[in-house]
Amino acid sequence: MDYFAQQLINGLVLGSIYGLIAIGYTMVYGIVGMINFAHGDIFMIGGFIALISFLILVSFGLTFVPLILLVVLLVSMAITALYGWTVERIAYRPLRNSFRLAPMLSAIGMSFVLMNFAQVAQGARVKPVPPIITGGYTLHESADGFNVQLSNVQIVVVITTIVLLAIFTWLVAKTRLGRDMRACEQDRTMASLLGVDVDRTISMTFVIGAALASVAGMMYLLYYGLVDFFMGFVAGIKAFTAAVLGGIGSLPGAMLGGLLIGLIETFWSAYFSVEYKDVAAFSILIVVLIFMPTGLLGRPEVEKV
């Protein structure tokens, strides 16, 4: 039971990271109706920016960890959001009214551009970083010597995720931007006729999604202690799977899907074979979609006539 509890903690932390990335996928799909396949690489860029910001602050002599983390978080969100805005203006906006396959091909191309840009700029080797947040708590000590541990970095990841989700939920439900986003999701043409700036709303959607992905990149750096140019592809596929599992277009579904993918991977790795953890996650996705084609919390599309 102690081993189960430890894996539950690990799975929830990993799922929180996947959920933050998956929200960006489901936001863009809900408004634009396309999959932003470059979103995983935006997450990777956020991780690199967090690493570079951390090293610069340390070189200036800053040693107060909470201040460093706050500055790194804000800088990473700002710069990565700029990347998201630039990607939307260059790769997606010119093709928005083109045939449906064109934006998808552009997204895949932009994914390779960002990946190779990071590889050329930062090198192909894995970039490790020493533990930034150390310490933790022992939740339970068993007689066989296995202790249930909750590290401080796991607490930071979960609390950061909860706070950001609360802010984002308020943003969507209570602000003018949130109303514009919901209007564009329902009918972009009608929203435009009613005075909604559709281009600005879509750009802000990419900006917010990129900012959340940058937070996920920073949490990944804190939790695993490394970044590399290829991590965006793998994490992006997992997060996209989470968004589909939860119901593409549903924000709560994206978070639920992320948590489920994280738990499935963690428990499968712990009790079965770590080599087949991805097989388990995608197999469960297939089974769910067979019986629930729109995902766990997805809504069936209603064709407008």
The pLDDT value given to residue 288: 86
Give per-residue pLDDT as tens, 86-124.
999 998 888 887 887 888 889 899 999 999 999 999 998
Average pLDDT of the residues in 6-17? 93
Look at residue 301 in the predicted model and tell me its pLDDT.
60
The mean per-residue pLDDT over the stretch 261-268 comes to: 92
With respect to residue 291, please indicate whether it lies within any of the assigned structural domains. Answer: no
Name the average pLDDT for the chain. 88
Q: Residue 139: pLDDT band by 50, 70, 90 thresholds?
A: confident
Average pLDDT over residues 232-261: 88
Question: Per residue in 46-85, pLDDT tens?
Answer: 999 999 999 999 998 888 888 999 999 999 999 999 999 9
Q: What is the pLDDT of residues 219-246, one digit of tens each?
A: 999 999 999 999 998 888 889 889 988 8
Residue 243, domain member (yes or no): no
Residue 44 lies in a domain: yes
Reply yes or no on whether the pLDDT at 45 is more than 80: yes
**Residue 149 forms part of a structural domain:** yes
Q: Does residue 188 lie within any of the structural domains?
A: yes
Tell me, yes or no, whether 298 lies in a domain: no
Q: How many percent of the chain have pLDDT more than 70? A: 98
Q: Is 247 left (phi over 0), alpha (psi -120 to 50) or beta?
A: left
Task: Show the 3-state SS of the chain.
Answer: CHHHHHHHHHHHHHHHHHHHHHHHHHHHHHHHCCCCCCHHHHHHHHHHHHHHHHHHHHHCCCCCHHHHHHHHHHHHHHHHHHHHHHHHHHHHHHHCCCCCHHHHHHHHHHHHHHHHHHHHHHCCCCEECCCCCCCEEEEEECCCCCEEEEEHHHHHHHHHHHHHHHHHHHHHHHCHHHHHHHHHHHCHHHHHHCCCCHHHHHHHHHHHHHHHHHHHHHHHHHHHCEECCCHHHHHHHHHHHHHHHHCCCCHHHHHHHHHHHHHHHHHHHHHCCHHHHHHHHHHHHHHHHHHCCCCCCCCCCCCCC
Q: Is residue 292 part of a domain?
A: no
Locus of tokens 């990271």: 17
pLDDT higher than 80, residue 305? no
The model's pTM is: 0.91
Total number of domains in the chain: 1
Mean pLDDT of 268-285: 87
The residue that leads in pLDDT, 86 or 35, is 86
pLDDT digits (tens, 9 = 90+) for 149-191: 899 999 999 999 999 888 888 888 889 988 998 888 888 888 9
Residue 196 has pLDDT above 80, yes or no: yes
Instruction: Determine, yes or no, domain membership for 10.
Output: no
Give the model's confidence band at 300: pLDDT under 50 very low, under 70 low, under 90 confident, else very high: low
What domain range is 177 assigned to?
24-229
